[in-house]
Amino acid sequence: MIWSTLLNCVLTSAILPATNPTPTPVCVADRASEDVVVKAIEMWLKLYRTGKLDVPDEGALTKGKPRSKKTFVSIKLGILPESRLAAEGPEALTHFRELQELCKRAAKLGTAEAVDALIEVAAVGADGKKVDVTLVPSVVSQVGDEALSEIRSDAARNRLAELAKSGSETERIAALRALGWGKREEDRPTFEAALGDESLEVRRAAAKGLSRAVLPNAIESLADRLQREENELALGDCIDALVATIDTLESGEQHQRVLRRAATSAIRLLGKHSWQVDLATIQLMERVRAADSVPALIDLLQRWVEADDSSKLGETSGLVRESAYELLVSLSGATFPKDRPDQWKEWWERVHDEFKVVDLAEVKAKQKAHRTSTGSFFGIPVRGSHVLFICDFSGSMEWPSADVDEESGKQISKMEVARRELKGAIHSMAADGHFGLVHFATDAEAWNKKLLEASAANKKKFDKFIDKARPLGGTNVWGGLKIGFDMKGNKTEGKVERYDSNVDEIFILSDGAPSFGEIIDPEQILAAVRQANAHRRIRINTVFIEGPEDEQKMKDSRIRYPFTMSGKELMRRLAEQNGGIYIEPGETRLNR
């Protein structure tokens, strides 16, 4: 039957002249393939939700778990040949990659049915309900979302707009996010209406869609929403959308009135919510650069000076203080100390009538010269007040580094370099700061279950632990991150509970690619981190340390690594996507 259909299609197309304006007839076999792709996605999701698929795929990589062709719906339905599983092996053909391929095919179809199937994938975990974290819903939903970004036809985009307006709540959430990829001005009313929806998740999806759409005419609506929104998560999404849109405006763009309105809305938020909202607000104020920001930033520095220990622990962040101070210097050109708000207030009383915001280019050098921190880790400033170090203790950390012992002239191990940098960063922290350590190898473990005050006693306790630590095993990067996102201080009062953790800055040190853990694929790790850190707003800095013998030792160990992204690239992207700094330390000399 299939062969006769194909033959009919070939004959029909051959009979029609090349210049014939009549549309090419649709082949029944093509219709069938569309139905099969959509059916395959539906079957995949059903198996996924019941836990019958290896998602993520690490079971096969770490345990040699065999996969049956029966678990691959694309093979069962004839979309992929059975020979592919035997030829490529479980590392190459996994259930996760099967979903990626199915979604790419659906995106190419671009029909309403294909859009509906992709929306179902993108909506996984999007309704705000708890989902089994071992099924990594954020990774699965991103596959559908990315496939929707590849849709180009107006018919498909219009289907998204229809679902964004009148679909179920989960369909609206996924559709609003995906609709932003089209960057169409005609979709702006749909986004703006959804910004005021009763559903929190719909409001957040509308703001996230606008972050992608970057529509200048939506700035006013987003600024208005800041004045009415009460939920901190939705506030953060609206601020992010404003920042993304303002960043696309060219100099001289005629939006000064609405930009001033956005600045006014942002200034009113400062100090009214959590430090996560404050940090996002300061990022918005950096873009608008309004004179009215100056007294608000001075007041923020004053509140920090007056804050007691309990409020510092749960409701403020060193990142906020540093960011506010840097912006204040940038706007004013003045350089009074950040712990002397009284001097800033006296100055402002003298100049506010004639004050003009300083041109950014004029103050960059001065701002850099007056930037302060309590210490550094591999040269990266430690700016947070609740700092977590996540360090690779895998066996390869015992390999030589590029660092040289000054007395002996011999190379020292990467682990020794890590010990030195960890001690230096922690010992330089102020006593009212807090720190912690998570170390990962084949498994991941926290040195202490909660962040500790940076007291002399706790620093000494840390030294004893790190001096005894020995590298051994594989590289479980996600395991370390997962513990880090749940890390708390020695109190959990105030607003901190809304974000599960009061860590405001993370430093990750690794020397290789992930090889163990719930999630190993770097792309999946990045997706999981994006979801976990979206509103925690933890600054993530990364260090990738290499040694001169790493390449040969990796070859000798015969470690199989099927992913296309290297460990180095993973570290770079983690920092890039989470507001941090990435470095590859060069040769330094150990001075004892």
Q: Is residue 150 part of a domain?
A: no
Tell me whether residue 65 is in a domain: yes
Do 522 and 568 fall within a single domain?
A: yes
List phi, psi (to 5°) of 532: -65, -30
Q: Which of 344, 371, 398 is the last residue of a domain?
A: 371
Q: What are phi and psi of 434, to 5 degrees?
A: -135, 145
Give the three-state DSSP class for 129. coil
Which phi and psi (to 5°) does residue 215 adopt?
-100, 110
Q: Which domain holds residue 472?
A: 376-590
pTM over 0.75: yes
376: β partners: 381
Residues 531 and 421 in one domain: yes
**Rounded Cα–Cα distance for residues 357 and 359 (Å):** 6
| Strand 444-446 to 452-453 pairing | unpaired
Please name the residue that has the structure tokens 């040769």: 587
| Burial (0-12, 13-18, 19+ Cβ within 10 Å), 98 | buried
- Residue among 22, 39, 33, 170 nearest 108 (CA): 33
Asked, for residue 185, whether it belongs to a domain, the answer is no
| Contact (Cβ atoms closer than 8 angstroms) between residue 550 and residue 392 | no
The reported pLDDT for the residue numbered 136 is: 75
User: Other CB atoms closer than 10 Å to residue 351's CB: what's the count?
Assistant: 12
pLDDT tens-digit profile of 286-298?
A: 988 999 999 999 9
User: Does residue 361 sit in the same domain as residue 306?
Assistant: yes
- Cα distance between residue 334 and residue 345, in whole Å: 12
Taking the CA atoms of residue 169, residue 174, residue 175 and residue 179 in that order, the dihedral angle to the nearest 10 degrees is 140
The answer to whether residue 21 is domain-embedded is: yes
- Same-domain status, 356 and 386: no
Query: Does residue 290 sit in the same domain as residue 383?
Result: no
Same domain for 454 and 585, yes or no, is yes
- Are residues 500 and 474 both part of a single domain? yes
Same domain for 398 and 532, yes or no, is yes
Query: How confident is the model at residue 285, as a pLDDT?
Result: 93
Taking the CA atoms of residue 59, residue 64, residue 69 and residue 75 in that order, the dihedral angle to the nearest 10 degrees is 70
CATH of the domain at 548: 3.40.50.410
Cα separation, 580 vs 503, whole angstroms: 14
Alpha-carbon gap, residue 86 to 493, rounded angstroms = 55
Q: Is residue 234 part of a domain?
A: no
**CA atoms of 485 and 81, how far apart (whole Å):** 41
Q: 405 with 536, same domain?
A: yes
E strand or H helix that includes residue 506: strand 505-510
pLDDT in tens, 462-474: 999 999 999 999 9
Which secondary structure element, helix H or strand E, spans residue 99, and what is its range?
helix 95-109
pLDDT of residue 123: 92
Q: Could you tell me if 351 and 492 lie in one domain?
A: no
CA distances from 530 to 45, 147, 543, 577 (A): 22, 18, 19, 8
Coil, strand or helix: which one is 443?
coil
Contact (Cβ atoms closer than 8 angstroms) between residue 474 and residue 439? no
Closest by CA to 196, choosing from 162, 240, 227, 242, is: 227
For residue 488, what are the β-bridge partners?
450
- Is 277 part of any domain? yes
Angle at 29 between CA 23 and CA 34, to 5 degrees: 90
Residue 423 forms part of a structural domain: yes
If residue 404 lies in a helix (H) or strand (E), which one and from where to where? Answer: strand 400-405
What residue type is assigned to position 539 of the chain?
R
C-alpha distances out from residue 543 to 182, 380, 414, Å? 36, 9, 12
What pLDDT sits at residue 92?
A: 59
Using the 3D structure, point to which of 371, 406, 427 is the last residue of a domain: 371
End-to-end CA separation in angstroms for the chain: 80
Structural domain contains residue 82: yes
Give the chain's residues under pLDDT 50: 1-32, 59-64, 90, 129, 309-314, 369, 490-499, 587-592
The total number of structural domains in the chain stands at: 3
The answer on 466 and 557 residing in a single domain is yes
**424 and 482 housed in the same domain:** yes
- What backbone torsions phi and psi does residue 263 show, to the nearest 5 degrees? -65, -45
- Given 123, 141, 159, the domain boundary residue is 141
pLDDT for 205 equals 95
* pLDDT of res. 17: 35
